Structure 1
């Protein structure tokens, strides 16, 4: 990795760290996700409503965490089955069990924007949504019909959430209990709360679940509206549904706490990004460094010196002279392309011409060689005389020869 590449990578990494820090240090935005779970303290959670209701009589409220179909096919308690969510949709068998349970003298209370097609068909009701042409606002003002419970001024939910109302009801079996009004001038009242007698029991449908949210209950005296709604429920057991909820009533992931804390969440994301960058830039297979292999050195000259020194120490001047002669013959053969095995006048003439020596010098050298070869008693003096003559002959024409 060159220097420019390292600088670019460092700047990119610094940019990622800066963005992560800026994002993690920003104020936590308001979470308007619909939850309606009893433990959620976000604006559209139902923590305040559930805890306040439970404090009145803790023994009356029982939390049901399983599907209604499963619960009602065991040994269900009598009372009021309370559903609070942005939508509730029963399947056919489940709805049949619920309605059978209601007809035996129990109560079904649902507060949602949607009750499911099967229940709406059964009760012959139709829902619709209101959106104001003035800024596309959908902020219903909630009130009740009963003169004993009705507020002097309707309680407005000041956030734009779905404004659902009953466009069609069965007036022969259903009683209007509450309304939603839209518009500041000439308010248009729509039905948002009604009661239906079903067998020996009752069904309450309420189309503004935000009335039970933390945000609504904490503003002014809006809690009085939810108290008025609950006054229609008889003083019996409350079966609080925790199954049909948009929010999670329990942690389903070990990362829940980590991802629900902004600094921890961005630290987690930064670790993932850093790991990906490491894999991309450093995870590639790197070539092992190639060791420097020094070329083999020619030790022939050193070897020759060593061997000649051994011959001299052992006073084998004759043998050393013969090797010197053999090297000369090899030199003549390779350098001058002459055959020293046949020595005659022509050989002397060719060798003298190619080596730039005189014929007399050439003949004198070979006469010394022949005498040295015949005399087995050659000593140091004879060897050095021969060696000097050979070296002089080889270097006469400027060519480098061994001085040994």
Structure 2
């Protein structure tokens, strides 16, 4: 190796060490992944909530790490089953056992953005996305119906996310306990916290689990919101805390995670990678010719679609937009759920409901609306937006990933 090569090698090695040091000392980016684990300190973890609750000494807790079906099969005692997660979905047998347990005089509390479709159907409810009017900010604001719990200024989020609310399909016997609205628009409020009696027991449903996250509770006086919600939970019997339906992992078994968790092993791994890269550079220099750089073609599909959409809006071709919206939704069904859309019959609706997690009735209602707007040759802007909202609500109500 010549003098020039040695100088270049030394400079490159110092550069790698310097960049590795910068990477190691750089603050970690904020992790907004929804976790709701009791030991997770990220913004959407629930360390603050669970620690504060357990320190009240007014409740007796039992953590449940197995599916509710198994726990209820072991004759779970009286109390409150508490679920907090981004999504909580029960299969039919599990839901039947839970409802039987609640009817015996117990409580079920669920705070999740995705609530079991079977449970919502039982209560004749559905969840919808709160769409801001006039392009307002989507920062939500929460409050209670009970005057003794209600806050004058409300409980406000500092971050933006699409809020959900409950919509009653008919005269369901529910009690509205709390509402949600967009900050700056106090006139339009929707229920996000409700209760319903089942036999001798009670079910509490809440669509804003972000309110139990560390970021929200540590902002201003928002911790009072969680305290006031807990006032509805009976403290005479134990509270069963669910650890099974959780988005965050409680244990990491990845070999790379174990390797990087130890500081000495982590730096040895980094230097091994740096040495391997240097070896490839200097050994490959003599044995392989340079590979020319070929820039990939730029994907302009989004710009094209936006331009075409703007032309339709400018020309007020709303009927064409409705047709394309319906065709895109049908393609979504074919791609995600692997269902043929050639024949829309009873078998199709049953299969779609099973794979999407929506009810058969909601699927029929959506396809009736699609047929009505498709046949309406005078359909305008409002009809297009109503159809878009109905399709988006149907997609958002799907329970988790598409079922195979």
TM-score by length of 1: 0.63
CA distance in 2, matches of 1:29, 1:134: 32
1:234 aligns with 2:234: yes
CA RMSD of aligned residues (A): 3.0
1:61 lines up with 2:51 in the alignment: no
> Which residue is 1:195 aligned to?
195
Aligned residues: 285
Alignment of 1:23-172 (within 5 A): 23-57=23-57, 60-132=60-132, 137-172=137-172
Alpha-carbon separation, structure 2, partners of 1:175 and 1:113: 19
Identify if the C-alpha distance between structure 1 residues 98 and 159 changes in structure 2 by more than 3 Å, giving closer, same or farther: same
Q: Distance in 1 between matches of 2:137 and 2:258?
A: 35
Q: Write the deviation string for residues 241-285 of structure 1: whole angstroms up to 9, x where unpaired.
A: 011111122343465466469x7797366235225326636889x
Deviation at 1:29, TM superposition (A): 2.4
- CA separation in 1, counterparts of 2:117 and 2:272? 44
On the 8 A contact 2:80/2:240 being kept in 1, the answer is yes
Map Cα deviations across residues 58-90 of structure 1 (whole Å, 9 max, x no partner): 761111111111111112121100000111111
Comparing 32-41 with 158-167, greater Cα deviation is found at 158-167
How far apart in 2 are the matches of 1:260 and 1:219?
31
Distance in 2 of aligned mates of 1:264 and 1:165: 49
Query: Equivalent residue of 2:226, what SS?
Result: helix
Mapping of residues 294-313 of structure 1, within 5 Å: none
**Counterparts of 2:38 and 2:172 in 1: how far apart (Å)?**
36
Which has the higher mean CA deviation after the structures are superposed, 115-124 or 235-244? Answer: 115-124
- Relative distance call for 1:112 and 1:79 in structure 2 (3 A) is same
Instruction: Give the alignment of 1:279-298 within 5 angstroms.
Output: 280=280
1:139 Cα offset (Å):
1.5
Larger RCO, structure (CA 8 Å, separation 6 or more): 2
Q: CA deviation at 1:190?
A: 1.2
**1:259–1:210: structure 2 CA closer, same or farther, 3 Å change rule?**
farther
Relative distance call for 1:152 and 1:269 in structure 2 (3 A) is: farther
- SS of match in other structure, 2:195: strand
What's the counterpart of residue 344 of structure 2? none
C-alpha spacing 1:269/1:159, structure 2 compared with 1 (3 Å):
farther
Residue 20 of structure 1 contacts residue 266 of structure 1 at CA under 8 Å; is this kept in 2? no
Structure-2 change in CA distance of 1:130 and 1:13 (3 Å): farther
Cα 1:90–1:127, aligned 2, differ >3 Å: closer, same or farther? Answer: same
Of the two, which has the highest radius of gyration?
A: 1
What's the TM-score once normalised by structure 2's chain length? 0.63
Classify 1:126/1:6 alpha carbon distance in 2 versus 1 (closer, same or farther; 3 Å). Answer: farther
| Structure 1: gaps spanning 5 or more residues | 287-404
Answer yes or no: is the 8 Å Cα contact 2:72–2:98 preserved in 1: yes
Matched residues in 1 for 2:265 and 2:210: separation? 29
